[in-house]
Amino acid sequence: MYTTLSGREPASGIIENAKHIVKTMKRAPHLAIILMGNDSASELYVRKKIQKAESIGMLATLFRLDGNASESELLGLVKRLNMDTSIDGFIVQSPLPKHIDYPRVVEAIDPGKDVDGWTSTNMGRMFLGISETFMPATPMGIIKMLDYYKVDIAGKDVTIIGRGNVVGKPLAFMLLERSATITICHSRTGNLAEHTKKADILISAAGKPHLVKADMVREGAYVIDVGTGNIGGKTVGDVDFENVIKKAHCSPVPGGVGPMTVAMLISNVIEAALRRL
């Protein structure tokens, strides 16, 4: 039998620990989230982040912007949150509407409040191994999940589907630091299955529902599904979980990487607050 790699168990341990730390702090750490537009998946993720933060005694504030708001309005809000001394860290929920230059917005965030770890300062620090950085929440959550399930990383062949800035690229770097041999695939990859089949650890972050079928997976591999999509109104991942779990260990969607992302975000906000105390 293969293991369902639930993210809920490891995340709850991290959250429990965070709760104890918050109790010892002079004041409650404060997370802010900017949500632009009304993407239904983003609404759900934001709600989960806020609920989890509040459930452990943190403060969480949501700032909404209309999907048609201009980039300068968004940049204005980012600047306001940078200056707001009551806020320890904030994120700009992705995806953003097409007319917004995402890198420009990310770069406007004060690196000391960049709890998603996406600014060039924090990414650069991560690449240079400088400890005072915020590690990107989702890739960090995936590493913690593999550690929780005692999956050896060093010396293993890891295939990542997706080369996005949020998951694929930083994750490849983190796994390289843990001495894995990395293959990164993307939409122009010629023969995807050729790369997925050889993986000891396969991680999919493409956002394409059921892209990864059982015949693309090695028997006994570890499969981490980052993607979130929708089939017939049901939230599904990139991996055809029902069939893949018959031959490999696999994380589910929902209940896999999502809770780990939230747990890592919460950890980063606490870290940001501790630095400011």
Is 93 among the residues known to form the active site? yes
Based on the shown chain and the rule CB under 6 A, indicate whether residue 4 belongs to the binding site for ligand NAP. no
Instruction: For residue 202, give the 3-state DSSP assignment.
Output: strand
Please report how close the Cβ of residue 253 comes to ligand NAP at its closest, in angstroms. Answer: 7
Q: Which DSSP symbol is given to 111?
A: G
Please report how close the Cβ of residue 66 comes to ligand NAP at its closest, in angstroms. Answer: 22
Tell me how many helices (H) and strands (E) the chain has: 10, 10
Largest CA distance in the chain: 55
The residue range among 62-70, 81-89, 106-114, 199-207 that interacts with ligand NAP, by the rule CB under 6 A, is 199-207
Packed helices 137-148 and 257-276: angle between N→C axes, nearest 10 degrees = 110
Is 49 among the residues known to form the active site? yes
Q: Is 74 within 8 Å of 101 (Cβ atoms)?
A: no
Q: Which is nearer to ligand NAP, 42 or 82 (CB)?
A: 42
Query: Whole-angstrom Cα distance, residue 207 to residue 5?
Result: 19
Please report how close the Cβ of residue 48 comes to ligand NAP at its closest, in angstroms. Answer: 10
Instruction: Please give the radius of gyration of the chain, using alpha carbons only, rounded to the nearest integer.
Output: 18
The residue range among 66-74, 76-84, 115-123, 156-164 that interacts with ligand NAP, by the rule CB under 6 A, is 156-164
Q: Is 179 within 8 Å of 153 (Cβ atoms)?
A: yes
Q: Which is nearer to ligand NAP, 39 or 110 (CB)?
A: 39
Q: Which residue of 85, 188, 231, 232 would you call a contact of ligand NAP, by CB under 6 A? A: 188
Based on the shown chain and the rule CB under 6 A, indicate whether residue 198 belongs to the binding site for ligand NAP. no
Residues 241-260, one symbol each (x = binds ligand NAP by CB under 6 A, - = not), give ----------------xx--
Spell out a b/e string for 236-261, using b for 16 or more CB atoms within 10 Å of the CB, else e.
Answer: bbbbbbebbbebbbbbbbbbbbbbbb
Based on the shown chain and the rule CB under 6 A, indicate whether residue 206 belongs to the binding site for ligand NAP. yes
Q: Which is nearer to ligand NAP, 82 or 137 (CB)?
A: 137
Reference 170, options 233, 218, 120, 210; nearest CA is 120
**Choosing from 49, 144, 156, 169, which is the catalytic residue?**
49
**Contact residues for ligand NAP (CB under 6 A)?**
138, 161-164, 166-168, 185-189, 192, 205-208, 211, 226-229, 257-258, 261
Catalytic residue positions, numbered: 49, 93, 116
